[in-house]
Amino acid sequence: MLQYEQKAPYVRNRDSAFTFMMDVVIALLPLYFMAFYFYGFRALMMGLFSVAAAVVSDVVCLLLEGKKPYLRDISSVVIGMILPLMMSAATPYYVVVSAEVFAVVFVKHVFGGVGQSVFNPAAAGFAFAAACWPSQVFSYPAPFSSLEVFGPVSQTLSNGPSWNLFQGGVPTIDVLDLLLGKFMGPMGLTNILVLATCLFYLLFRGAIGWQAPLSFFAIMVTAMLCFPRVPESGPMSLVHEATTGMWVFGGIFLLNEPGTLPKRSSARLAYGALAAVFTILFQRFGQMEQTFAFALLLTNVFGFTLDRNSERLLRQLRRAYLATRTKHSEKKSAQRA
């Protein structure tokens, strides 16, 4: 019997990796529309520059590896679309492009390309940008401010509500504005209702599994409700954390990246839970206001181990079950005799 080693993403239905990635692209489009609505053409240009940088560096890496660029592989487009949404709309283009090149060259291609990367490329790109240029990445313009499409932004930039939470304060923003995303923050992370719609769309289309998001969001919501970071009620803490943090966006688009996500359902559940635990720990003891990307990079390391150990555990459980069943049937047959 011939056996072939198949690369991730492990798509088990009739859909291909292309359709799966197209679903993610479609899910990201409303977020770009909202970013355009709040910040104008600069948001779209950021996305355009990012996608262009990702595709160009992907093609260059493929050519250097002696491979032919495959048109139906749009993973670099997905990475290129995700990354700017986690940043401020006033972030200079060179920051976005540098982060993108880092993500594609050093995180995606160094580990072997699509489905082989150990770390999530978009999260690594964001972590790189946040470590290199924190003032540019975490300084936000006010919504509906007309930002210059090219050149430096002349509008006043300031820290978002996530900074207030990080410092132990309570953001003074109206709940309706929070739900509608009408406050200073990363350009694709503030629209919680749109994000929820994206999650349901991706789940409905089967582009992402339910296991990792379920355990991740369950633990995050429980932690936010039961142990608020700032002195306020549990539900308000949940609203503040969910609307201002990166974890909702990350739980939908970054956590479910097929290259780093475990294969087995049980491992996926554990993976989501581990990501939630790391996110909470990074939130409480981290040095930055948006720490989900760092927590995810740490979780990525355990993806393979979780897969292997869950398989071993399931096998042992199956053996134990079969052994008890055999004993039981033997006993019954002995009683009958």
Partner 1 sequence: MRQEQNTVKKNLRKELDLIFVQNPVLVTGLALAPAVVGSFTMKNGVGLCLVFGMVTIPVLVLASFLGMLPEKVPQYVRTMACALLAALMLIPARMLAAQIAPNLFDSLGMYFSAVALNTVWLVRAPLCQEKKTLWSLWEGVCLTVGFSLCVMAVSTVRELLAYGTLWGKATALPLKFPAVAYVFAGFIVVGTAAAVLRWCVDRCHDILTLIRRQQKKWRA
Contacts with partner 1, residue ranges (CB under 8 A) = 94, 98, 106, 110, 128, 131-133
Q: Smaller CB distance to partner 1: residue 90 or 224?
A: 90
In whole angstroms, the minimum distance from the beta carbon of 77 to partner 1 comes to 24
* Shorter beta-carbon distance to partner 1: residue 38 or 119: 119
Shortest Å distance, C-beta 70 to partner 1: 23
Give 17 or 99: the residue with its C-beta nearer to partner 1.
Answer: 99
Q: How far is the CB of 73 from partner 1 (least distance, A)?
A: 23
CA–centroid distance for 199 within its chain: 12
> Bridge-partner residues for 157, per DSSP?
none
User: Minimum Å distance from CB 292 to partner 1?
Assistant: 18
User: Least CB distance from residue 61 to partner 1, whole Å?
Assistant: 13
Separation between Cα atoms, residue 337 and residue 332, nearest integer Å: 9
Nearer to partner 1, 113 or 272 (CB): 113
Q: Please name the residues in contact with 186: beta carbons below 8 A apart, sequence gap of 6 or more.
A: 85, 86, 87, 88, 140, 160, 246, 290
94 or 227, CB closer to partner 1? 94
Cβ 121 to partner 1, closest distance in Å? 14
Shortest Å distance, C-beta 157 to partner 1: 19
Query: What secondary structure letter does DSSP report for 187?
Result: T
The two tokens of residue 78 are: 């997905």
As a whole number of angstroms, the distance between CA 133 and CA 115 comes to 29
Q: How far is the CB of 103 from partner 1 (least distance, A)?
A: 13
H-type alpha helices, 168-264: 175-180, 192-205, 211-226, 234-244, 247-249
Q: Is the peptide bond before 9 cis (omega within 30 degrees of 0)?
A: yes
CB environment 173-206: b (16+ within 10 A), e (fewer): beeeebebbbbbbbbbbbbbebbeebbebbbebe
**Nearer to partner 1 among residue 110 and residue 214 (C-beta):** 110
Q: Which two tokens stand for residue 38?
A: 């709040």
DSSP helix/strand/coil, 158: strand
Beta bridge partners of 158: 140
98 vs 266 by CB, closer to partner 1: 98
Q: What are phi and psi for residue 13, nearest 5 degrees?
A: -105, -170
Q: At what angle do helices 192-205 and 17-39 cross, to 10 degrees?
A: 170
By C-beta, is 133 or 183 nearer to partner 1?
A: 133
